[in-house]
Amino acid sequence: MMILRHTDDVPAHLRQGVVAIGNFDGVHRGHQAVIATGLALARAEDRPFGVLTFEPHPRSIFQPELAPFRLTPFRIKARLIEALNVDFLFVQAFDLTYAQTTSEDFIQNTLVRALDTRHIVIGHDYAFGKGRTGTPESLNRAGAALGFGVTELAAVTGRAGVILSSTAARDAIREGRCADAKAILGQHWTIEGRVEHGEKRGRTIGFPTANIHLTDTLRPRPGVYAVQVRIDDESRIVSGVANCGHRPTFDGVGTVLEVHLFDVQESLYDRHLRVAFTHFLRDERKFDGIETLKRQIQSDASTARQILTDSAQTMSV
């Protein structure tokens, strides 16, 4: 998959294609339906297929005071989109200046001039341009005049008719409902990052941890989870137990993901981990001493091992 960041960078062989447009935070099953529809249209007409998205997420520009909310920071989002057989990903830089772009300018400058698009695929709630004045109806009118088609997908629903959305996924993750999050996303929700040096308390009690400090990633329900982990880009997947929170026993500051991997002996410092949250085990809490904490970690690790063995689930990406 080629990643493009400027309208002047679009090579001739990627023009006159089919483009799916959206933010695609989480790349959930509704997003996957939009992308799959675009891919099918492109392949049927032997055209290139691309996804157009915006970075950073517009919400972080308009409401910078919000707590971190992203399901998939760009690195994860790009990888998930690439796995859907997309030819190119067009990443439109979004800031307060670009936010003044009208829907008409977006159509003329990006969809027509830069991409020379032949077909657009959007989700049921897509709006675009300054003040979100661009609608599926206005996009259809522009397409009729400028020579491109438009397909708008209906909402994709899951169990009990619930619409599959990024908001629903965020709610599930904030509440520790890992299975519900997976049902919406189509895969386990994942945090990834580089392992940093911590205070090395874990190794003194027999449970060394790989520590990842969270940045713009959504904060899950503070607590202990059974996890599956991919180290760097290796094919192997390792089971483990993780605490995501503030480490109240040690009066910790900031949110840290601490991962203890089962049966892994090598150093993980500076290595990149993908940590998939498969099961919520318990809430984070403050213990009255190291021995009490150690016994609880032993119990958590045993529970996580058993759950992961019984479930036989595997990370998909």
Do 147 and 21 reside in the same domain of the chain?
A: yes
Q: Which CATH number fits the domain that encloses residue 20?
A: 3.40.50.620
How many domains does the structure of the chain reveal? 2
Q: pLDDT tens for residues 24-74?
A: 999 999 999 999 999 999 999 999 999 999 999 999 999 999 899 999 999
Which tens digit of pLDDT belongs to each residue from 110-150? Answer: 999 999 999 999 998 899 999 999 999 999 999 999 999 99
**For range 88-108, the mean pLDDT:** 96
Domain boundary among 152, 169, 201: 152
Q: Are residues 198 and 141 in the same domain?
A: no
- Say which residue, 222 or 296, is predicted with more confidence: 222
Per-residue pLDDT tens for 249-263?
Answer: 555 557 889 999 998
Whether residue 136 is found in the same domain as residue 71: yes
According to the model, what pLDDT value does residue 317 have?
Answer: 57
On whether residue 172 sits in a domain, the answer given is no
224 and 305 in a single domain? The answer is: yes
The parent domain of residue 30 ranges over 2-152
Q: What is the 3-state secondary structure (H, E, C) of the chain?
A: CEEECCHHHCCHHHCCCEEEECCCCCCCHHHHHHHHHHHHHHHHCCCCEEEEEEECCHHHHHCCCCCCCECCCHHHHHHHHHCCCCCEEEEEECCCCHHHCCHHHHHHHHHHHHCCCCEEEECCCCCECHHHCECHHHHHHHHHHHCCEEEECCCCECHHHCECCHHHHHHHHHCCCHHHHHHHHCCCCEEEEECECCCCHHHHCCCCCEEEECCCECCCCCEEEEEEEEECCCCCEEEEEEEEECCHHHCCCCCEEEEEECCCCCCCCCCEEEEEEEEEEEECCCCCCHHHHHHHHHHHHHHHHHHHHHHCCCCCC
Q: What is the pLDDT of residue 205?
A: 58
Residues 145-172: tens digit of each pLDDT: 999 999 999 999 988 788 999 999 999 9
Percent of the chain past pLDDT 90, that is, above it, reads 75
126 and 203, same domain (yes or no): no
Report the percentage of the chain scoring pLDDT > 70.
Answer: 93
| Residue 317 counted as domain residue | no
Residue 233 pLDDT > 60:
yes
Q: Is residue 63 part of a domain?
A: yes
Q: Determine the pLDDT at residue 294.
A: 85
- Which of the four pLDDT bands, split at 50, 70 and 90, describes residue 287? confident
Task: Tell me the per-residue pLDDT of 187-210, one tens digit each, with 9 for 90 and over.
Answer: 999 999 999 886 655 555 568 889
Task: Output the domain CATH number for residue 293.
Answer: 2.40.30.30
Q: Average of pLDDT values for 281-296?
A: 84
Whether 178 is covered by a domain: the verdict is no
Same domain for 127 and 256, yes or no, is no
Q: Mean pLDDT of all residues in the chain?
A: 91
One domain, residues 228 and 106: no
Determine the average pLDDT of the residues in 282-287.
86
